[in-house]
Structure 1
Amino acid sequence: MKTFEELGVAAPILKAIQELGYVSPMPVQEEVIPYLLGQDNDVIALAQTGTGKTAAFGLPILQKIEVEDYQPQALVLCPTRELCLQIADDLNDYSKYIDHLRVLPVYGGSSIESQIKTLKRGVHVVVATPGRLLDLMNRKTVDLSHIRNVIMDEADEMLNMGFTDSINAILAEVPASRNMLLFSATMPQGIAAITKQYMNHPKEIVIGNKNEGNKNIRDIYFMVRAQDKYLALKRIADFYPNIYAIIFCRTRKETQEIADKLIQDGYNADSLHGELSQAQRDYVMQKFRIKNLQLLVATDVAARGLDVDDLTHVINYGLPDDIESYTHRRGRTGRAGKTGISISICHIREKGKIKEIERVINKKFEKGVMPSGKEICAKQLFNLVDQIEKVKVNEEEIAELMPQIYRKLEWLDKEDIIKRMVSLEFNRMIDYYKDADEIETVDEKSSRKDREGGRKRKAEEGFVRFFINFGKTDGLYTNQLIDLVNKCVPGKVRIGRIDLMEKFSFFEVEEKEARRVEKCMNNFEVDGRRIVVEEAQEKGEGKGKEKERKRRSTAQKRFERANGKPGKQSFGDKKRKKK
């Protein structure tokens, strides 16, 4: 392995990075730095987040700056305000011993007037988000005619965020003779179009294989039932006492709901999503960066540009729709040569998506076994003991208090003190897991049996289990089924377990309400289709289509003999899907 000096890094920059703790170059730096120090070299670098990309492009472009010429000579484009600020800070650190070199971050959400004033005074490197840079170009306040190096960092993210037109407009204004470096974690179609239009025979540098996952990251999935997802999340968080993680959710609503639940349950958590103001975002992100928060619940869009090196875990509260998003999520842990864990809490319907991700990242997922309450409590207790062993004691500060403390506790022996200390810290957790049901992980076979209704299922004590002839293909989900029962049956009905199948479902109600529920619901229809509700059998409940057809036929004959037309109801205003 070469040193930074052998790669050609100049003395002032070398001194600065040594003070920052840089010892030897990372693979992407070793590949990119010598090439960028040359002339007329366009580069496409495919590397995961956290592999040392900023130094890979930052050191050579700073070294090639002519400080006497106070005009923008290097342009770095990046997708978010947060990443823009992070890159600018790093470049300022690297150029600490280059006198008068100026780096300007240009981004939305801050005063454009102050950015214009700084540009007029003269800068050498502009780090910008596309939208704000285009605004400055339209105002004729930034001159790109002297740009010698253009860097696009997280290019795939910029395309995903819809910056294609802005990027094209910006690149059309820079000299054709400039060098261009494009960094991306993945290689989507849009990247290929940019390279073809704006790059001249680029050298492709791949760290690992294309789209391949970081080998320092373990990919684990837990297959659980939908109603157990949040409980599974709590167990995972409890099983790793020193967890420092981002929990990714699909929507803003889900993000806020999960964060609120975690906070209510005593976790050090907060949310990050698009409905927060910029001031709220900055406050939450600052708390997370300085580790005042252990868990940050975020959407993909909100977490873009959040640059944190020490994440122990990334938790997917359900897999994202596209594989590139998963690659970016997992790339936030296991950075700078450290190890990390990417955990996915999945439903059986996401089994195929796991296999697709495995194929793309060329890496197998581990199937996780949900930790028991006993295992979690043991892990937490031993972590406490470890902290006690390692705690730094300030003898001088506590010396005058110790005699009183000794007198107060002298009636207790060592074992009693240890027991009380442990109980004081963990009684709540021990009590919670003592009474908590274990979470059942789902395998493909058992889930298939469950979906087909072939598995025996007894109603909970005090409840009656009913079959209903609507399922998920009809747009029926848990909240719609509850609404449907409440609309059809007057008064309050306590509903127990709900099992949704594709073409029919099961639900439980209290025994005292059972006959009333059956009678009332069989007097209604949904979108012209009669509701059929019958008590489910313990054995063979729902043996496929034939069983459902017979049930429906029997119920329809009963309705035809009855007087009066059934009432109409709906759930969620969703129409039944047509085959």
Structure 2
Amino acid sequence: MTFEEIGIENKYIRAIEEMGFKNPMPVQEKVIPKLIQEDCEDIIALAQTGTGKTAAFGLPLIQKTNPSFKHVQHLILCPTRELCLQISNDLNAYAKYDTGVKIAAVFGGANMERQIRIVKKGVHIISATPGRLLDLIKRKVVKISKVKSVVLDEADEMLNMGFRNELEAILKETPEDKNTLLFSATMPNEVRKMANRFMKNPVEITIGKKNVGADNVNHISYIVHARDRYLALKRIADYYPEIYGIIFCRTRRETQEVADRLIQDGYNADSLHGDLSQPQRDKVMAKFRMKHVKLLVATDVAARGLDIDNLTHIINYNLPDDLEIYTHRSGRTGRAGRSGTSIVIANLKEKYKLQIIEKQINKKFDNKPVPLGKDICEKQLFHLVDKMEKVEVDNEKINAFFPAIMHKLDWLDREELIKKFVSVEFNRFLDYYKNTPDLNVPESPGKRGKQKRTANKHASEGFARFFINLGKTDNFRPVDVIGMINDYTNIRDINIGEIDILRNFSFFEADKLFTEEILQGFKGKVFKKRKINLEVAEGKKKEVKSDSGRTKKMKGFKKGSAKRKEKRKRRRK
């Protein structure tokens, strides 16, 4: 099928062919013929990022724009500055031979006065982030009462970032008879609720399966002790000499620490997180796009909206709290028909999360051993040999020096010469990985009953372990723990460790530097009409009954602990 066959006019085909597009991608084949119609239905399109969504909605919107009308005719909402600019740039490229169509980008973190001047000159299509657009609507600069179409691009990401209120306020300003188009990689309940509220009998188009990863992405897991996570990361980076990817961490602090350690250890790395100013962020991204930085260590929020087609690897240094985010992370590689690899570095406590993700993406993880020093040295050696074999020689420039080189090296035989050239680069790997330990974690023998998972554990290094009087009988879930910590402390980057949800109570680990803030935040709080009791699990042994009913020793409480108080309350009931 060609672009002409699905209804795109020649002047736009000419522009996109110059951009390297010959035939429409699957999402474009399905969306464009519907959207290009004047009486188009509302559309929900479920497709991964990097599948050609921008052209799927952008080409029809440009073609349907009437330049003689000076008001805003089409509105595109997206989660981040980067995506907003990318959409605007792409649409301007599509409209290269239709100079009458005016397109503007409106986003936060940039000069508002300049954006106001552009909008006041008259624009037909606006690509915007919700916050800045709502600000301009309130200032009466942008009027959207006559828009024909509203596109919600990466709707799941916008809701994850907390833009629900802004989106609802913007959509209320638009006319009832507009055309609404929702593009999303996943379809969580929040997105479904928004679609039900603001869309009219939408047609649903799915490219691939709902909430699953791209077909050409391999999913690999490495199981290590938590303390060895960084060492495993370095080995993985060394095992893939041509790696060009993003390393995802959960908090800004961890992101910066990992990036600093990688730079110190000689890797071409940098960080991207919320503490960077916009100029700093732009500088990092420029270096990453030019491949001066090969490993970008980032938080999920900071990386949203990045669109880089040729990433080879995504590395999950930590799994996200919301496992659906894994689909977004892994979808950043394997784009535009290329293959990609998504790697998870996990500990034994996190293996159950891998099983949940497997069901979600309908794929199995290839659980591989962490490369040993000899494996890495072998991989690097043959990579070096391949590079040497394929290097292009500029005879014209080197011939002048060649006699002197031959004279200098003519005492070496062929084999010795090859060994010395290889060793120039290779020796550093041999030296570093000499006598390095095996980081792989053997599976523990015997049963792994619930009674072995819980209270008699020490907190991991750098964490405090907390007891809370809520469990499975209260429909208490790990996501509730994370939400409570965020909401009750008003701190969004507290690192959270293992969470054990048991029948009548639970344990969780959190960064010990925030122990007081967490204890204070939970004071007087209620969960589903039940008063919350939270304590630090300390090092004294007490006998408690496990979920199996057996009595056992437990490290965790001083006299008068929360658990014993909870038992007394239940007896009185």
Q: Would the TM-score normalized by the shorter structure come out above 0.5?
A: yes
Residues 300 and 576 (structure 1 numbering): CA distance in 2 closer, same or farther, change over 3 Å?
A: farther
Helix, strand or coil at the partner of 1:152: strand
Matches within 5 A, 1:301-320: 301-320=301-320
Residues 74 and 148, structure 2, Cα contact 8 Å, conserved in 1: yes
Residues 438 and 576 (structure 1 numbering): CA distance in 2 closer, same or farther, change over 3 Å?
A: farther
Residues 138 and 242 (structure 1 numbering): CA distance in 2 closer, same or farther, change over 3 Å?
A: same
Helix, strand or coil at the partner of 1:435: coil
Query: 1:173: which partner in 2?
Result: 173
Q: How many residues align?
A: 489
Query: 1:578: which partner in 2?
Result: 563
Q: Deviation of residue 18 (structure 1)?
A: 0.9
Q: Deviation of residue 445 (structure 1)?
A: 4.1
AA at the equivalent of 1:28: V
Q: 2: CA distance between counterparts of 1:19 and 1:527?
A: 63
Cα-Cα RMSD: 3.0
Residues 30 and 205, structure 2, Cα contact 8 Å, conserved in 1: yes
Write out per-residue CA displacement over residues 115-156 of structure 1, whole angstroms, 9 at most, x where no aligned residue.
Answer: 111111111210000000001101101121231111110000
AA at the equivalent of 1:578: K
Q: Deviation of residue 231 (structure 1)?
A: 1.2
Q: Deviation of residue 169 (structure 1)?
A: 1.0
Residues 53 and 528 (structure 1 numbering): CA distance in 2 closer, same or farther, change over 3 Å?
A: closer
Query: 2:546: which partner in 1?
Result: none
Residues 531 and 212 (structure 1 numbering): CA distance in 2 closer, same or farther, change over 3 Å?
A: closer
Residues 377 and 576 (structure 1 numbering): CA distance in 2 closer, same or farther, change over 3 Å?
A: farther
Residues 527 and 171 (structure 1 numbering): CA distance in 2 closer, same or farther, change over 3 Å?
A: closer
Q: Deviation of residue 548 (structure 1)?
A: 5.3
Residues 456 and 553, structure 2, Cα contact 8 Å, conserved in 1: no
Instruction: Find out whether 1:270 has 2:270 as its counterpart.
Output: yes
Query: 1:134: which partner in 2?
Result: 134
Residues 52 and 217 (structure 1 numbering): CA distance in 2 closer, same or farther, change over 3 Å?
A: same
Residues 223 and 443, structure 1, Cα contact 8 Å, conserved in 2: no
Matches within 5 A, 1:91-102: 91-102=91-102
Query: 1:324: which partner in 2?
Result: 324
AA at the equivalent of 1:73: Q
Residues 235 and 371, structure 1, Cα contact 8 Å, conserved in 2: yes
Query: 1:82: which partner in 2?
Result: 82
AA at the equivalent of 1:18: E
Instruction: Find out whether 1:382 has 2:363 as its counterpart.
Output: no
Query: 2:237: which partner in 1?
Result: 237
Q: Deviation of residue 350 (structure 1)?
A: 1.2
Q: 2: CA distance between counterparts of 1:62 and 1:530?
A: 66
Q: Deviation of residue 322 (structure 1)?
A: 1.1
Residues 369 and 440, structure 2, Cα contact 8 Å, conserved in 1: no
Q: 1: CA distance between counterparts of 2:3 and 2:181?
A: 20
Query: 2:460: which partner in 1?
Result: 477
Write out per-residue CA displacement over residues 234-278 of structure 1, whole angstroms, 9 at most, x where no aligned residue.
Answer: 111111000011111111111111111111111111111111111
Q: 1: CA distance between counterparts of 2:15 and 2:428?
A: 49
Q: Deviation of residue 399 (structure 1)?
A: 3.0
Residues 54 and 137 (structure 1 numbering): CA distance in 2 closer, same or farther, change over 3 Å?
A: same
Query: 2:438: which partner in 1?
Result: 438
Q: 2: CA distance between counterparts of 1:66 and 1:122?
A: 13
Query: 2:3: which partner in 1?
Result: 4
Query: 1:536: which partner in 2?
Result: none
Q: Deviation of residue 472 (structure 1)?
A: 3.5
Q: Deviation of residue 76 (structure 1)?
A: 0.7
Residues 377 and 397 (structure 1 numbering): CA distance in 2 closer, same or farther, change over 3 Å?
A: same
Q: 1: CA distance between counterparts of 2:344 and 2:109?
A: 33
Query: 2:300: which partner in 1?
Result: 300
Q: 1: CA distance between counterparts of 2:30 and 2:61?
A: 15
Residues 159 and 190, structure 1, Cα contact 8 Å, conserved in 2: yes
Residues 286 and 447 (structure 1 numbering): CA distance in 2 closer, same or farther, change over 3 Å?
A: farther
Q: 1: CA distance between counterparts of 2:113 and 2:539?
A: 66
Matches within 5 A, 1:180-259: 180-259=180-259
Residues 401 and 84 (structure 1 numbering): CA distance in 2 closer, same or farther, change over 3 Å?
A: same
Q: 2: CA distance between counterparts of 1:169 and 1:529?
A: 48
AA at the equivalent of 1:3: T
TM-score, normalised to structure 1, is: 0.79
Residues 412 and 139 (structure 1 numbering): CA distance in 2 closer, same or farther, change over 3 Å?
A: same
Write out per-residue CA displacement over residues 16-38 of structure 1, whole angstroms, 9 at most, x where no aligned residue.
Answer: 11111112211111100101001
Matches within 5 A, 1:445-464: 445=445, 448=448
Residues 255 and 297, structure 2, Cα contact 8 Å, conserved in 1: yes
Write out per-residue CA displacement over residues 367-393 of structure 1, whole angstroms, 9 at most, x where no aligned residue.
Answer: 112222111111111111111222222
Residues 273 and 299, structure 2, Cα contact 8 Å, conserved in 1: yes
Residues 150 and 178, structure 1, Cα contact 8 Å, conserved in 2: yes
Helix, strand or coil at the partner of 1:58: helix
Q: 1: CA distance between counterparts of 2:69 and 2:279?
A: 36
Query: 2:355: which partner in 1?
Result: 355
AA at the equivalent of 2:174: V
Residues 71 and 122, structure 1, Cα contact 8 Å, conserved in 2: yes
Q: 1: CA distance between counterparts of 2:536 and 2:320?
A: 33
Query: 1:34: which partner in 2?
Result: 33
| Unpaired stretches in structure 1, ≥5 consecutive residues | 454-469, 482-499, 504-525, 533-544, 553-569
Query: 1:290: which partner in 2?
Result: 290
Instruction: Find out whether 1:21 has 2:20 as its counterpart.
Output: yes
Residues 12 and 97, structure 2, Cα contact 8 Å, conserved in 1: yes
Helix, strand or coil at the partner of 1:45: strand
Query: 1:368: which partner in 2?
Result: 368
Higher mean displacement: 118-127 or 366-375: 366-375
Q: 2: CA distance between counterparts of 1:342 and 1:176?
A: 42
Write out per-residue CA displacement over residues 168-218 of structure 1, whole angstroms, 9 at most, x where no aligned residue.
Answer: 111111222221110001112222222222211110001111112211111
Write out per-residue CA displacement over residues 46-76 of structure 1, whole angstroms, 9 at most, x where no aligned residue.
Answer: 1111111111111111111112323221111
Query: 1:104: which partner in 2?
Result: 104
Query: 1:57: which partner in 2?
Result: 57
Q: 1: CA distance between counterparts of 2:217 and 2:536?
A: 50
Q: 2: CA distance between counterparts of 1:339 and 1:527?
A: 46
Residues 222 and 441, structure 1, Cα contact 8 Å, conserved in 2: no
Q: Deviation of residue 308 (structure 1)?
A: 0.7
Query: 1:117: which partner in 2?
Result: 117
Q: Deviation of residue 446 (structure 1)?
A: 7.2
Q: Deviation of residue 529 (structure 1)?
A: 7.8
Residues 224 and 442, structure 1, Cα contact 8 Å, conserved in 2: no
Q: 2: CA distance between counterparts of 1:363 and 1:32?
A: 27
Write out per-residue CA displacement over residues 394-444 of structure 1, whole angstroms, 9 at most, x where no aligned residue.
Answer: 223333233322222222233222211111101111111122112123436
Query: 1:457: which partner in 2?
Result: none
Query: 1:523: which partner in 2?
Result: none
Q: 2: CA distance between counterparts of 1:406 and 1:60?
A: 64
